[in-house]
Amino acid sequence: MRWVLYPIAGLVALAILGMATLAAMSILAWPNLPSLESLTDYRPRIPLRVYTSDGHLLGEFGEERRTVVRIADVPPTLKQAILAAEDERFYEHPGIDMLGIARAALSNIASGGRGQGASTITMQVARNFFLSREKTYNRKLYEILLALKIERSLSKDQILELYINQIYLGQRAYGFSAAARAYFNKPLAEITLPEAAMLAGLPKAPSAYNPIVNPSRAALRQQYVLRRMVEAGFIDEATYHDASEAATVRAKAIEPVRRSSVSHGDYVAEMARQIAVEQFGEEAYQLGIRIVTTVTQADQDAAYAALRRGVLDYDRRHGYRGPETFVDLPAGHDEERYDEALADTTDYDDLLAALVLDASAKSVKVYRHGSTQEITGDGLRFVTPMLSDKAPQARRIRRGAIVRIRDTGEKGWEILQLPEVQSALVSMDPHTGAIRALVGGFDFNRNKFNHVTQAIRQPGSSFKPFIYSASLERGYGPGSLVEDEPLYFPAGVTGSQAWEPKNYDGKYDGLMTLRDALARSKNLVSIRVLQSITPQYAQDYVGRFGFDPSRHPPYLTMALGAGGVTPWEMASAYGVFANGGYRVEPYIVKEIYDGTGRLVAKMDPPVAGESAPRVIDPRNAWLMDSMMQDVVRRGTATRARALGRNDLAGKTGTTNDYLDGWFCGYNPDLVAIAWMGFSQPKNMGRGETGGSSALPIWVNYMKTALANSPEKARERPPGLVSVPTGDGLREDFVYEENKPATPPVLPDLPASLFSDHGPATEAPEEALPQVPAAPPRATQPPAPVVDRVPTPVQR
């Protein structure tokens, strides 16, 4: 038997020698362990976050998505799921679990590798803060020693809190709170047991068990965590079965996350980001800065919905262009090939990419992420011409086509397309300049160019109110009569080519009041008025509204909106009419807080009627408001009457060749500007006026924005007297000193009233002529336009 004892003695000796060596190495390594200051003074990288004024998240920026939570605020089910999946004996062991290490060692010896690590939660904290992820025995020794040191310095709850906030869980999410937002779009406190199990399964391999990238593997890992929770005694069998069934349903329903923000405010968030970087540099992305904007969630979502509806309606009017692309599909059903075909196609909010498996005149079968859908009836109305065998092969919907589908709710799915046309909507409080909503384009992820602040476009007839406002200061009144008759300027007068401007409908109504001319958007009347007051005077006058006079050359074409403006500028300018004559500056950032929650900057804007400068006479503002109310009541903007209000005013605008459509309107408490056009200007199609393209967007937005706002009647300011109108049908008002209103006699037309290159030959449709000397219709500056920076708080 002696020969049996020799090997055992040898093994014992080797074990003693190994333990002695390990002890010696530990003694030598202990003094070289890093300080735990980064744990005891935990300062994680927290991204820049942008919020609405009522506290809803608009967007976040930074390499690491993270929201720090206290251990007391972590749901018990999540803590239990984490312990079951990662370290069941966490609250019992001293930082290392000897049973787990022994089990892992035996497994590694048996397999001849180093696949099992047996890391406790404390060891994972040590690795995440101080060590690399390389699998070496030397690194493992340091990990064990650090775990023991951490356990001597922090409580178990403090260690678990660090783990819950620091661990990487995929989708740029660090910590479980950020992961709950990234995967389930909900706060940590609201996650269910199946969701907690899925999150708890991520630390082992975030990429492998990512429910977005690998939903099937994530579901298997989720089931494993739920079984471990039963084995650990955290849940009973009945709870396990209920959660398991719910988890299966959830796994099948997982869709790729299309948005990182709660509200549809990507353009607003980007403007706020630019301000933060301007103020704080690149560190803005990790200091936990919180920016509160002026927009409200209800207004922002209403603006987003109205704009997308308006753009999609425009797209329907102009027909289906065909599938985005085609892929070759083998015969039979091959989901792996289908997923591969869709892999490089991005979803844009509710416009989802789908692969056509079969198509006929009455039915289209599409595939998307493991499921198929048959679309029939009204869902095919938009694409019916492209289902015919006679449709061009390059545009016909057939097997292998990539199309866009959208869930309309009760009416089921429909096939649409990604629009090419763009639009913009901005609304503002005219008393303070606070932006209430801003959408700079159809989809930020597709086109980040902000058409509200960056697109310099011709305003067309929406610029006429500023010319008419100038005329009131030169002796005109709303009831003044001006000829609506043809004008012709020969080349000898213009200094270049002949110019014969026209009204949209090609009709002329003779003498008419300025009120009627504005309501009906008469081009010839506007030109005669500008001729009378002189373009030089008008150019100087429009600067009062915040326009850059250099972008509005002093030529007669200014009467038709031949200059260059942005929707942002138009909101500010129309605000002067809305608030009674005061100039307020639009702004979008309300407050900025640092990572500790300290207020570091706050906007203190001038207020209309208090600290804002008065730029036009209150009588002028009242008369212009009265005239633009007639635009809504009986002019080119009668669609706005659908809102059933009597305090709405505004003006449509359409530029030459239907390049731009505008509606600029307001009531005493809210200004909103809607625009539609192509980023690179081109004809939107005959009949696409501001009243048909932009006005419906404005109406749909205002329907929500003014829902709880009572009507407001404007009080007539002193200094106005009643006079009969020139047509004798009703009374009107003029400045008291101008009674009776006698406009100046029209002067002769010098060539200086025209551009150096001469005016264009035609101005159809409440529109403007092509003027070579005018600014470009759209520009994309090298540096994005950003809002003013709030004033730092003085402390």
Band the pLDDT of 526: cuts 50, 70, 90: very high
384 pLDDT higher than 90: yes
Name the average pLDDT for the chain.
84
Q: Which amino acid is at 266?
A: D
Using an 8 Å Cβ cutoff, are 452 and 426 in contact?
yes
Q: Which amino acid is at 468?
A: Y
Predicted confidence at residue 795, as pLDDT, reads: 33
Query: If we measure between CA atoms, which residue out of 523, 488, 471 comes closest to residue 764?
Result: 523
DSSP character for 787?
P
The whole-angstrom separation of Cα 264 and Cα 439 is: 8
Band the pLDDT of 2: cuts 50, 70, 90: low
Band the pLDDT of 361: cuts 50, 70, 90: very high
The whole-angstrom separation of Cα 108 and Cα 103 is: 9
**Residue 86 annotated as catalytic:** yes
Cα distances (angstroms) measured from residue 331 to each of 334, 399, 585:
8, 10, 62
The whole-angstrom separation of Cα 501 and Cα 557 is: 9
Q: What is the mean pLDDT of residues 292-320?
A: 97
139: exposed, middle or buried (Cβ count in 10 Å: 0-12, 13-18, 19+): middle
Distant-in-sequence, close-in-space partners of 45: CB < 8 Å, separation ≥ 6: 62, 63, 64, 66, 174, 285, 286
565 pLDDT higher than 50: yes
Predicted confidence at residue 15, as pLDDT, reads: 47
* Greater pLDDT, 634 or 751: 634
Predicted confidence at residue 252, as pLDDT, reads: 45
109 pLDDT higher than 80: no
**Which of 70-84, 95-109, 550-564, 572-586 shows the lowest per-residue confidence on average (mean pLDDT)?**
95-109
10 pLDDT higher than 70: no
- Token couple for 411: 């009416």
Using an 8 Å Cβ cutoff, are 439 and 307 in contact?
yes
Using an 8 Å Cβ cutoff, are 61 and 273 in contact?
yes
* Greater pLDDT, 165 or 742: 165
Predicted confidence at residue 68, as pLDDT, reads: 85
For strands 48-51 and 290-293, give the pairing: parallel
* Greater pLDDT, 786 or 141: 141
The whole-angstrom separation of Cα 640 and Cα 697 is: 10
Using an 8 Å Cβ cutoff, are 69 and 165 in contact?
yes
70 pLDDT higher than 50: yes
The whole-angstrom separation of Cα 348 and Cα 331 is: 30
Q: Which of 1-5, 56-60, 658-662, 731-735 has the highest mean pLDDT?
A: 658-662
* Greater pLDDT, 136 or 435: 435
* Greater pLDDT, 730 or 80: 80
Predicted confidence at residue 495, as pLDDT, reads: 66
The whole-angstrom separation of Cα 663 and Cα 682 is: 19
Phi-psi sector, 482: left (phi>0), alpha (psi -120 to 50), beta: beta
Cα distances (angstroms) measured from residue 534 to each of 3, 15, 460, 676, 791:
120, 103, 19, 31, 40
- Report the DSSP beta bridge partners of residue 654: 661
How many residues make up the chain in this entry?
795
761 pLDDT higher than 50: no
Q: Which amino acid is at 375?
A: I
Q: How many CA atoms lie within 13 A of 113 on its CB side?
A: 5
Using an 8 Å Cβ cutoff, are 684 and 659 in contact?
yes
Q: What is the mean pLDDT of residues 31-60?
A: 75
The whole-angstrom separation of Cα 690 and Cα 316 is: 17
pLDDT tens by residue, 183-223: 988 899 999 999 999 999 999 888 888 888 788 888 899 99
**What is the residue-wise DSSP string for 448-508?**
---TTTT--B--GGGGHHHHHHHHHTTT--TT-EEEE----B-HHHHSSS-B----TTS--
Cis? peptide before 740, omega within 30° of 0 = yes
Catalytic annotation, pick one of 64, 86, 195, 688: 86
Band the pLDDT of 364: cuts 50, 70, 90: very high
Predicted confidence at residue 275, as pLDDT, reads: 94
Q: Which amino acid is at 577?
A: F
Catalytic annotation, pick one of 461, 471, 692, 693: 461
Band the pLDDT of 601: cuts 50, 70, 90: very high
Predicted confidence at residue 752, as pLDDT, reads: 54
Query: By percentage, how much of the chain surpasses pLDDT 70?
Result: 80
360 pLDDT higher than 90: yes
- Token couple for 193: 């047991």
590 pLDDT higher than 90: yes
561 pLDDT higher than 60: yes
Predicted confidence at residue 787, as pLDDT, reads: 37
pLDDT tens by residue, 653-712: 999 999 999 999 999 999 999 999 999 999 999 999 999 999 999 999 999 999 999 999
Q: Which amino acid is at 57?
A: L
The distance in angstroms from the start CA to the end CA of the chain is 87
212: exposed, middle or buried (Cβ count in 10 Å: 0-12, 13-18, 19+): middle
The whole-angstrom separation of Cα 778 and Cα 678 is: 9
Using an 8 Å Cβ cutoff, are 121 and 87 in contact?
yes
Band the pLDDT of 625: cuts 50, 70, 90: very high
**Residue 461 annotated as catalytic:** yes
Helical spans, DSSP H, in 660-694? 690-693
277 pLDDT higher than 60: yes
| CB-CB neighbours of 483 under 10 Å | 15
Q: Rounded to two decimals, what is the model's pTM?
A: 0.80
Cα distances (angstroms) measured from residue 695 to each of 561, 572, 631:
18, 18, 12
The whole-angstrom separation of Cα 709 and Cα 736 is: 34
Predicted confidence at residue 30, as pLDDT, reads: 47
Predicted confidence at residue 132, as pLDDT, reads: 53
Q: What 3 state SS string does 697-723 have? A: HHHHHHHHHCCCCCCCCCCCCCCEEEE
**Which of 38-42, 122-126, 419-423, 568-572 shows the lowest per-residue confidence on average (mean pLDDT)?**
38-42
Band the pLDDT of 150: cuts 50, 70, 90: confident
Band the pLDDT of 26: cuts 50, 70, 90: very low
Distant-in-sequence, close-in-space partners of 693: CB < 8 Å, separation ≥ 6: 310, 314, 661, 676, 684
DSSP character for 170?
S
Using an 8 Å Cβ cutoff, are 697 and 690 in contact?
no
* Greater pLDDT, 103 or 551: 551
Query: If we measure between CA atoms, which residue out of 550, 590, 606, 542 comes closest to residue 787?
Result: 590
Predicted confidence at residue 489, as pLDDT, reads: 85
- Token couple for 150: 């951490």
